Structure 1
Amino acid sequence: MNRTELARVIGQRTRLSGSFTLRSGVVSDSYFDKYRFESDPKLLSAVAEALAPLVPARTDYLAGLELGGVPVATMLSNVTGIPAVFVRKEAKTYGTCQLVEGADIEGKRLTIVEDVISSGGAVKDAVNALRERSAIVEHVVCVIDRETGGIEKLEELNLAVKALYRHSEID
């Protein structure tokens, strides 16, 4: 599937009409349901194939952010052969009490994998936590940039951010 066709399919599958209260509290008559491309194995595979060229060559681990980045990172790991780790929003309070599941990240080059970047807040929190744990985090890849200033905020943290699509390309 070429890039234009993939954008069209993502848009068709993810755009919902109705009445939706957004995280900001604003009510909208349309909603972008990102889980609709993440839960379809064929579509997610096509997304990962398209996203793979954006992953820097010197990546030790793909770091999928909870929740939406995890399926993308898993499929991207399958496509690229680069192992994945999974980053929680906060360390669990039982068992191993880990923030990062899957491998020891100290001194490793991580590329953050996210489905959609809006404000950049979740990525910023994860990057700060990973850097505190001595991971090297310089790159972020995402499927969709919502074009709401998140990428610009992340670039202020010395991150190179690459999006497969801008929201306007999906819309």
Structure 2
Amino acid sequence: MLFGAESNLDLALALYDLGGVQFGDFDLGPTAGRSPIYLNPRVLISDPAVLRRIALLIHHEIQADQARRRPRLASFAAVAGVPMGGLHLATAYALVSDTPLLYVRPDSQQPSIEGRIIPGQTVLVIDDLMTGGTSLLRTAKALEESGLVVRDFIVLIDREQGGTERLHEHGYHVMPILRLRTMLTYYHECGLLDTARYRTVMDYLERTSPRRWSGSP
């Protein structure tokens, strides 16, 4: 199996084919507000072959990073999934990499961690979609309150709407597998997204980009 930019875009196409990319007018809550695009990466679990490819891709990305002279990701002894979408990806990754798995119970009044907790152990957190980073921060806090260490996150799709910047402000590093602008450009070039709608979504991302807020180029 080949990995790299082509494989990442193959996953973008799989998400589109499974109906996980919709265009229209959607209310995504206080973080993203009204949006001309809705992403639902949870549909990927409907295709076991695609889910396996995602797990292998994440595994490859981590191995490639760890082989670097200066890895971006800290070494870790366990992986945790953000409930619920990230949990499926983390489980698949744990199976292909033989990495211990943890998760935060979303139905608990007090944060409750399932799995074997070893205080001081570093945990890599995985999620399927990041907008503002709130769910990732909540998961990291729950893990840290249980004596675990969180330094890095891997997200399948980054909507590029402030999540990375917000997590960096809290001292965390984020590695996205796919970025929304890259996905949109790919869909446009493949003829899956017409020019008018492509420009509408790209204009929306530009308006909501933290780079615009900060005045960065």
Which of 73, 77, 90 aligns to 1:73? It is 90
Structure 2: segments with no counterpart, 5+ residues: 63-72, 185-217
How much does 1:88 deviate?
A: 2.6
Between Structure 1 and Structure 2, the one with more strand by share is 1
Corresponding position of 1:118: 131
CA RMSD of aligned residues (A): 2.3
How much does 1:160 deviate?
A: 1.6
Whether the 8 Å CA contact 1:118–1:149 is kept in 2: the answer is yes
Q: Give deviations 1:68-109, integer Å, cap 9, x for gaps.
A: 11100000111111111112346x25xxx7611111142111
Distance in structure 1 (CA, Å) of the matches to 2:118 and 2:106: 16
TM-score, length basis structure 2: 0.68
Structure 1 counterpart SS, 2:125 = strand
Q: Give deviations 1:99-135, integer Å, cap 9, x for gaps.
A: 1111114211100111111100111122122222221
Whether the 8 Å CA contact 2:77–2:123 is kept in 1: the answer is yes
Further displaced range: 11-20 or 32-41 = 11-20
Q: How does 1:26-65 map to 2 (within 5 A)?
A: 26-28=33-35, 30-55=37-62, 56=73, 58-65=75-82
Letter in 2 for 1:3: N
Corresponding position of 1:128: 141
Between Structure 1 and Structure 2, the one with more helix by share is 2
Corresponding position of 1:149: 162
Corresponding position of 2:15: 10
How much does 1:21 deviate?
A: 2.9
Whether the 8 Å CA contact 2:42–2:128 is kept in 1: the answer is no
Give aligned-pair identity as a percent.
26
Whether the 8 Å CA contact 1:15–1:33 is kept in 2: the answer is yes
How much does 1:12 deviate?
A: 3.4
Give the ranges of 4+ consecutive aligned residues of structure 1 lying more than 6 Å apart after TM superposition. none
Structure 2 counterpart SS, 1:36 = helix
Distance in structure 2 (CA, Å) of the matches to 1:17 and 1:75: 29
Number of equivalenced pairs: 167
